Structure formats: structure tokens, C-alpha cells
Amino acid sequence: DAKTTQPPSMDCAEGRAANLPCNHSTISGNEYVYWYRQIHSQGPQYIIHGLKNNETNEMASLIITEDRKSSTLILPHATLRDTAVYYCIVRVAGSHGSSNTGKLIFGQGTTLQVKP
């Protein structure tokens, strides 16, 4: 089962910031928070990941609370092309040869609809 909880759907006006919340209250100290998105009929696309510090890249920003029990993905200026299902995933950084390497556990995600 997924270890994260996300709202099933959200709307955002084009050009405005989209803030997508995620709860991961049982996250362990060695688990990272990952965000992926899936545009209709395509494979999931990596967005960003973080451990405990806030992260920013060309796509988005990731804000992780101090207790690490929740996070927010921020798309600063949403466009119509950002309409997608957004998945928040917690994942262990596995050591070579361990059983925790690579497995992503997807939940239902949040369907973000960006409207003109």
C-alpha cells in the first residue's frame, strides 16, 4: 500500500501557482519524498525529490515540513500542459544489492486540472 495520502483532485487557474499537498505521516528517516506526474496516455515523468530540505528545479519546488510528515509540490506558474495526475511517493534510498532498490509504490495521486 502507498504510504502517502493526496487529495483526489484539484483545480488551478492558468498562470497561477498550483500547490499540491501530500501527507506521509509514517515516513522513516531514510525515506525520500518523490513527485512524479502522468499526463494522459503517457508514462509517468519524474519531477523532483527531497529528503528534508526544500528543493527547487526548473519544473517545480518541493517544500517539506520540518517534521517531514507532509510536503507540498509547487508549480509556480501553471499552464494547460500541466494538467495531469500527480503522484507523491516515499522511497528508501536503497544500498546496492538490497531489496529496497528502485521500487516505487504509487497511490491514486491528485488529478490537477489547469483551467484557462
Partner 1 sequence: DAGVTQSPTHLIKTRGQQVTLRCSPKSGHDTVSWYQQALGQGPQFIFQYYEEEERQRGNFPDRFSGHQFPNYSSELNVNALLLGDSALYLCASSLEQGRMTYNEQFFGPGTRLTVL
Residues that bind partner 1 (CB under 8 A): 2, 32, 34, 42-46, 49, 85, 87, 91, 93-96, 99-109
CB of 11 to partner 1, least distance (A): 19
Helix (H) or strand (E) holding 35: strand 31-38
| Residue 25 near residue 91, CB atoms below 8 Å | no
Cβ distance to partner 1 smaller for residue 67 or 99: 99
Cβ distance to partner 1 smaller for residue 16 or 101: 101
CB of 102 to partner 1, least distance (A): 5
Name the pairing type of β-strands 45-50 and 70-75. unpaired
3-state secondary structure of 81: helix
CB of 116 to partner 1, least distance (A): 26
d(CA 65, CA 99): 28
